[in-house]
């Protein structure tokens, strides 16, 4: 056995043992009495699906990294992108939500984006609207200094421009898939209350652009007092479904997003158990279409499947599939919109509940991550 494979086996063993130990410890640790009429906790697998510039603005010899690498996840070992996500979801009878970025059609071939969006829809998973406005450019003019790079922050755009942008991008999703989006997420969570009026005008009921972690970075500009870590009724009758955040313990702890690339299966299970016990309505996970690929090259020249993130995805899906009485994997279209609008209109918001996984689960993740960070596995 090579040193690489030995270390990979050891790191996998640590991940598996921490997950198994937590499953034994969690057991019946939840409190169904706190839940509304014994409703399950809704869980959303959300995958931001997008290209990248890959350094192409700084270096004219480079091209943007398109769907082949960032969405389909092409590697020498095979594809590890959207199809792998959907294969795992299908294995456990679950459905995913792919927030599909549309403005990239300005810098890569639109047909390749349309093909990927249509493929997701045809496989029975949901395609929702994701917008990175900085991709709305003529790349050659920006390189030549003849045009400015557009702002990446949606909140910096006037309301009329924002409405036009969301209308045209929503129309592209509908043209590609035959279905109009029901949810929206701003790139980088860079949104504010002004977006809600545009969503209302377009008949999009859900916004999923709020992240308490991004609020702390001042890139998410929603003014919510108290802040959010669960579904909330916003202006213009829009329902905010925030990215779930939690408080990590141990070294490199602090506020983190429920991101499949940055928390272990054991931490994820602990967060879910605590959210369920607290009576939380929704847990919204975050990942990206390229997160099952490991690379050190912004052009994805050395891309290979990321075995650890793939194992995390399998473990989380298995846990959710084995506990359908408490956790219901949903899409935005499955959520009880009218019921929530009625209930939330009559509820007073409380301080957000932030789950905290046991310190030992975070320490185990750090041990595995330290090996990965050194490029050994």
pLDDT tens digits, 139-192:
999 999 999 999 999 999 999 999 999 999 999 999 999 999 999 999 999 999
What 8-state DSSP symbol labels residue 169?
A: H
- State the CB neighbour count (10 A cutoff) for residue 210: 27
Model confidence band, residue 253 (pLDDT cutoffs 50, 70, 90): confident
* pLDDT at site 38: 65
Please, which residues have CB within 8 angstroms of residue 27's CB and are 6 or more apart in sequence? none
For 39-373, CATH number out of 3.40.190.10, 3.20.19.10, 3.20.20.370, 3.10.150.10 equals 3.20.20.370
Burial of 341-361, coded b for 16+ CB within 10 Å and e otherwise, reads: eeebeeeeeeebebbebbeeb
Residue pair 352/230 in contact (Cβ under 8 Å)? The answer is yes
Q: Give the tens place of pLDDT for each residue, 117-137.
A: 999 999 999 999 999 999 999
How long a stretch of residues is the chain? 377
At residue 40 the predicted structure's pLDDT band, cuts being 50, 70 and 90, is: very high
pLDDT of residue 22: 52
* Closest to 315 measured CA to CA, from 246, 274, 263, 254: 263
38 or 70, greater pLDDT: 70
**Which pLDDT score is estimated for 364?**
79
Both structure tokens of 376:
């050994």
The pLDDT score that the predictor gives to residue 30 is 39
Q: Report which DSSP code applies to 301.
A: T
- Non-local (6+) Cβ contacts of 351 within 8 A are 226
d(CA 105, CA 136): 8
Give the pLDDT score at 16: 53
Residue 327 in this model has a pLDDT that exceeds 60: yes
pLDDT of residue 31: 38
Residue closest to 231 by CA, chosen among 337, 114, 315: 337
Q: What is the value of pTM for the model shown? A: 0.90
User: Is the pLDDT at 261 greater than 60, yes or no?
Assistant: yes
User: Long-range CB contacts (< 8 A, 24+ apart) of 27-31?
Assistant: 29/273, 29/277, 30/273, 30/276, 30/277, 30/326, 31/277
Cis peptide before 226 (omega within 30 of 0): yes
Q: For the chain, what is the radius of gyration of the CA atoms?
A: 20
pLDDT of 27 higher than 50: no
Judged on CB neighbours under 10 Å (0-12, 13-18, 19+), 322 is: exposed
Q: 206: part of which helix (H) or strand (E)?
A: strand 206-207
DSSP annotation string for 40-79: PEEEEEEEEE--B-TTTTT-TT---B-HHHHTS-EETTEE
* Rounded-to-integer distance, Cα 356 and Cα 276, Å: 13
**CA proximity to 116, closest of 132, 135, 99:** 99
Residue 32: pLDDT band with limits 50, 70, 90: very low
Please state, rounded to an integer, the average pLDDT across all residues of the chain: 91
pLDDT at 24 over 50: no
The pair of structure tokens assigned to 284 is 């919204």
Average pLDDT (304-317) is 96
DSSP 8-state symbol, 352? P
The alpha helices in the chain, defined as continuous H runs, are 3-26, 67-70, 82-91, 110-122, 139-143, 159-177, 194-202, 212-217, 265-278, 307-322, 337-345, 359-373
- CA distances in angstroms from 275 to 107, 281, 291, 323, 333, listed in the order given: 41, 8, 25, 14, 22
pLDDT at 352 over 70: yes
Distance from C-alpha of 316 to C-alpha of 36, rounded to nearest angstrom: 24
């Amino acid at each position: 056995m090579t040193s690489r494979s030995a270390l990979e086996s050891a790191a996998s063993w640590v991940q598996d043992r921490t997950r198994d130990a937590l499953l034994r410890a969690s057991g019946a640790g939840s409190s169904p009495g706190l839940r509304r009429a014994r409703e399950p906790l809704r869980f959303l697998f959300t995958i931001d699906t997008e290209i990248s510039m890959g350094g192409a603005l700084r270096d004219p010899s480079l091209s943007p990294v398109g769907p082949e690498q960032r969405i389909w996840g092409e590697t020498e070992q095979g594809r590890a992108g959207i199809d792998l996500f959907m294969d795992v979801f299908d294995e456990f009878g679950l459905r995913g939500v792919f927030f599909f970025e549309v403005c990239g059609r300005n810098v890569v071939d639109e047909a390749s984006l349309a093909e990927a969006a249509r493929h997701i829809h045809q496989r029975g998973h949901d395609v929702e609207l994701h917008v990175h406005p900085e991709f709305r450019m003529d790349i050659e003019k920006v390189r030549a200094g003849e045009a400015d790079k557009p702002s990446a922050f949606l909140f910096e755009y006037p309301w009329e421009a924002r409405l036009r942008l969301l209308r045209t991008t929503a129309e592209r999703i509908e043209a590609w898939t035959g279905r109009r989006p029901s949810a929206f997420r701003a790139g980088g969570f860079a949104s504010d209350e002004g977006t809600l009026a545009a969503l209302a005008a377009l008949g999009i009921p859900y916004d999923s652009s709020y992240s308490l972690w991004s609020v702390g970075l001042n890139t998410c500009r929603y003014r919510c007092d108290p802040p959010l870590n669960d579904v909330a009724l916003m202006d213009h009758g829009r329902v905010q479904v925030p990215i779930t955040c939690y408080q990590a313990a141990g070294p490199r702890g602090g506020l983190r997003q429920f991101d499949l690339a940055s928390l272990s299966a054991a931490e994820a299970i602990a967060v879910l158990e605590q959210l369920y016990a607290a009576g939380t309505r929704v847990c919204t996970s975050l990942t990206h279409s390229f997160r099952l690929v490991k690379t050190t090259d912004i052009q994805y020249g050395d891309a290979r499947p990321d075995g650890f993130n793939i194992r995390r995805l399998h473990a989380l899906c298995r846990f959710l599939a084995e506990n359908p009485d408490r956790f219901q994997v949903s899409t935005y279209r499955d959520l009880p919109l009218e019921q929530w609008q009625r209930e939330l209109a009559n509820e007073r918001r409380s301080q957000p509940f932030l789950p905290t996984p046991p310190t030992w689960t975070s320490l185990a993740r750090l041990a595995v991550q330290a090996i990965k960070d050194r490029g050994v596995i």
